[in-house]
Structure 1
């Protein structure tokens, strides 16, 4: 089993080397036909496809804006709660113990509720990035398939899981250009933030 796996990996590596060495002999650098990479296996860097696309950059800006808003809200809430706590502390000696305890419990409940609300907002911002990444990769599949067909490829692999490859089989830049041309900032992939 291990021997057949090594043999298969060796054959794949040999095929890639043959493609690369044939390409070196060609004047256009090989592996291309009218500007399209010609290879059985292509690679793409999904993280770069996301972060360098117009869509990914739009999402990054929106997340930054949302994070700044949450931070500003947190500062405002903190100032408000500090003032309320100070006022409650000052009233401690003038209020009946039962009334003070009721106010203190109401204050504690308010603090916990506001903390939960702000934590939920922060989690939502965090999940938005992952949702956007998945949405882009789903939307980009027909584009990657088109590049794959044009290239005569049988597979597009995540560059992170490829042990060794020649740079000319990486279609990330081409994919970014096509995704930008097709979707721009991607309002149809994920609606613009209101």
Structure 2
């Protein structure tokens, strides 16, 4: 009887040891002809994507602050014009009011152009990132024995083990880093884009 229990205890110990070994052993990359990744997460989590996001956020904040200053100035100007209305000839007031309306319209177009320039910078950063990251992505593809990488957001169901987003982030960070700032694209009307004066690269 004693030998029987000893044997059971030995088997239990071995089973526990095997489980511990299995838990601590490093997982080997899965070899699969099809891999998946989340393109938005890939860009957002890389050093490049974080740098670009910080720069775009700063430019957006600058534009928002500028818009608030402009709104304050225009409100004060409109109030002053309204207060002068009683003492101004009707035709003179109408001319001044039309000039003010034209000024507001021009400013709105200018600020909208700056907002579009910030959006264009986002597109430019993503294009530059994927152009630089493509060789690294190809290396990962070959190392996994894959023939295609699909966007995980377009797939109804897939095993997590074929998602290589995290691996791609690490490999791309190690290979190309955060990239470099490029000049902010100028708005179509030629005015200076928010944050453009801070671009030193």
Q: TM-score range by the shorter chain?
A: 0.7 to 0.9
CA distance in 2, matches of 1:146, 1:192: 31
Note if 1:64 corresponds to 2:57.
Answer: yes
What is the aligned residue count? 162
Note if 1:100 corresponds to 2:93.
Answer: yes
Note if 1:159 corresponds to 2:163.
Answer: no
Provide TM-score, normalisation by structure 2: 0.73
CA contact (8 A) 2:47 2:173 kept: yes
Note if 1:86 corresponds to 2:79.
Answer: yes
Q: Deviations over 1:43-75 (max 9, x none)?
A: 111111111011111111112111111111111
Note if 1:44 corresponds to 2:34.
Answer: no
Provide TM-score, normalisation by structure 1: 0.75
CA contact (8 A) 1:46 1:137 kept: no
The range that moved more, 47-56 or 156-165, is 156-165
CA distance in 1, matches of 2:142, 2:182: 30
> Which ranges of structure 2 fall in alignment gaps of 5 or more residues?
1-21, 185-198
Report the 3-state secondary structure (helix = DSSP H, G, I; strand = E; otherwise coil) of the residue aligned with 1:135.
helix
1:191 pairs, out of 182, 185, 201, with: 182
Aligned in 2, Cα 1:149/1:84: closer, same or farther, shift over 3 Å? same
Q: Deviations over 1:93-138 (max 9, x none)?
A: 2222222111111110111111111122122223332332233223
The range that moved more, 124-133 or 47-56, is 124-133
> Which ranges of structure 1 fall in alignment gaps of 5 or more residues?
1-23
